[in-house]
Amino acid sequence: SGVSSPAPCPAPCACDLDGGADCSGKGLVTVPDGLSVFTHSLDLSMNNITKLPEGAFKGFPYLEELRLAGNDLSIIHPMALSGLKELKVLTLQNNQLKTVPSESLKGLVSLQSLRLDANHIVTVPEDSFEGLVQLRHLWLDDNSLTEVPIRPLSNLPSLQALTLALNKISHIPDYAFSNLSSLVVLHLHNNKIRTLGPHSFHGLDNLEALDLNYNNLIDFPDSIRSLPNLKELGFHSNSITIIPDGAFVKNPLLRTIHLYDNPLSFVGNSAFQNLSDLHFLIIRGASNVQWFPNLTGTNNLESLTLTGTKIRSIPIKFCQEQKMLRTLDLSYNEISALVGFEGCSSLEEVYLQNNQIQEVQNETFQGLAALRMLDLSRNRIHTIHKEAFVTLKALTNLDLSFNDLTAFPTAGLHGLNQLKLTGNPNFKETLT
C-alpha cells in the first residue's frame, strides 16, 4: 500500500500513535536511540541526564514539546537544541543550571512556554531570549537572582505571564518591565523586595495580576498607579504600616486585594472608594483607624472585615450602599451603639464580638431575613428589646456569652440550633 507503519518504540519508553514518547523516570543518562522522526512530544523528565551534547535532538524536526525537568542537567551545548523550529514547550525546571542557556535557546523561534524554575540560576546573560518573539510564559522562580534581568526581558514582546518569585531580589528599579506590554500576570512574591521605583511597573498596561506577597516592603507600593487594568493585587506579609488616601484611585477594576499580615496602623478614609468590582475587603489590626472607611462607589462587597481598629460606630447609610454584603466582621473594635442594618438584606453572618455594645433595640436587626450567624459575645449588653429577633427567620447560631444580661427574649427564634449565654452572671430567668 506504500503506507509505512510507525517506527517501533525503543525500550524503556512508551509511545502513542499521536507521536508522543514518554521516557520519564527510566534512569536514562542520554537521549534514547530509535525514536520516530515524527515524534512531536518527548518526555525525558526525572532521569539522570547531566548534559546535552551538540545536536542532541537533531533527529526530531517535528518536536513541539520537550520535557527535561528533574534531571541533573548542568551543561547544555550551544547547539544542543538546534533544528527544533517547531518547539513550543520546553521544561528545564529542577535541574542544576547556574545560568540561562542563552545560546542554545536562540533558534527556538516557535517557543511559547519556557520553564527554568528551581535551578541555581545566578546570571541571565544580556542576549538571553533573543529571537523568542512567540514566548508567552516564562518561569524563573526559585533561583538565586538578585535583580530583575531587565535587558533580557525586553526581548519578549509577546510575554503574558512571568514569575520571578522565590529569588533574592531586593529592589525593582524604574522601567524594569517597560517592554512587556502584553504581560497579564507578574509574580514577585517571596523575594527580599524592600523598595520599588516610582515607575517600576511603567508600561504594564495590560497587567491584571500582581503578587508582591512575602517581601520586605515598608511603604505602600504607589507604583501600582500605572496599572489601569489591575484586578488582583497581593502585598500581604510585608512590613507596610500605612495605606494612604486614594491608594487605589488608578486601579478601578480591582477585584481582590490581599493586605493581611502587615503591621498596619493607619488606613486612609478614602483608600477603598470607587472599587465597584471589589468583592472582599479584609483589614485587621489597623489600631490607629478611628473612623469607618468611606466605601462610596465600592458597592458590590460580599465580605467586609474590619477588626482591631478604634471604630466606634457604623455609618447610618452603610446598609443602603452595601446591598450585596453577605459577611460582616466588625469584632474587636470600640462600637458602642448599633444603628439599623436595614438594607443589608443579603447578610448571612455578622460578627460583633469584643466591642462595647450596651443594648439591642427593636429595629437593630430588622429585615435581615437571610441572617444565619450572629455573634454579640464579650460586649456590655444589658438590654435586648423583646422583639429584637422576631424577623430573623433564618438564624441558627446566636452567641450572647459574656455580657450583662438579666433576661433574654426568645420570640422569633424558632430555627435556632445553637445559643450561647454563658458568662452572664446576673441571668437568672428561665427561658420560654
Residue 46 in domain: yes
Q: Which domain does 21 fall in, by range?
A: 1-132
Whether 320 is covered by a domain: the verdict is no
Q: Do the strands 75-76 and 113-115 form a parallel or antiparallel pair, or are they unpaired?
A: unpaired
Residue with cell 496599572: 227
Residue 15 lies in a domain: yes
Domain assignment present for 316? no
Question: Quick check: 4 pLDDT over 70?
Answer: no
Q: Residue 11 maps to which CATH number?
A: 3.80.10.10
Return the pLDDT at 387. Answer: 94
Provide mean pLDDT across the span 337-345. 88
pLDDT of residue 1: 41
* Parallel, antiparallel or unpaired: strands 137-139 and 113-115: parallel
Angle CA 208–86–4, to nearest 5: 140
Query: What is the pLDDT at residue 431?
Result: 79
Region 333-353 average pLDDT: 93
Q: How far is CA 222 from CA 210, 227, 246, 427, in A?
A: 13, 10, 10, 53
pLDDT for 117 equals 98
Distance CA 164, CA 146 (A): 10
Q: 153-178: buried (b, 16+ CB within 10 Å) or exposed (e) per residue?
A: bbbbeebbbbbbbbbebebbeeebbb
In a domain, 241, yes or no: no
Give the per-residue pLDDT at 7: 59
Q: What percent of the chain has pLDDT over 70?
A: 98
Flag whether 96 is in a domain. yes
96: number of CA atoms within 13 Å, CB side?
A: 11
pLDDT tens digit sequence for 27-51:
999 999 999 999 999 999 999 999 9
- Three-state SS for 181? coil
User: Each residue of 296-323: pLDDT tens digit?
Assistant: 999 999 999 999 999 999 999 899 999 9
* Mean pLDDT (whole number) for 122-147: 97
Tens of pLDDT, residue by residue over 203-257, are 999 999 999 999 999 999 999 999 999 999 999 999 999 999 999 999 999 999 9
- What is the per-residue pLDDT for 40? 96
- Please report which confidence band the pLDDT of residue 6 belongs to, taking 50, 70 and 90 as the band edges: low
Q: Is 162 helix (H, G, I), strand (E, B) or coil?
A: strand
Average pLDDT over residues 376-382: 97
* Count of domains forming the chain: 1
Distance separating alpha carbons of residues 31 and 35, to the nearest angstrom: 9
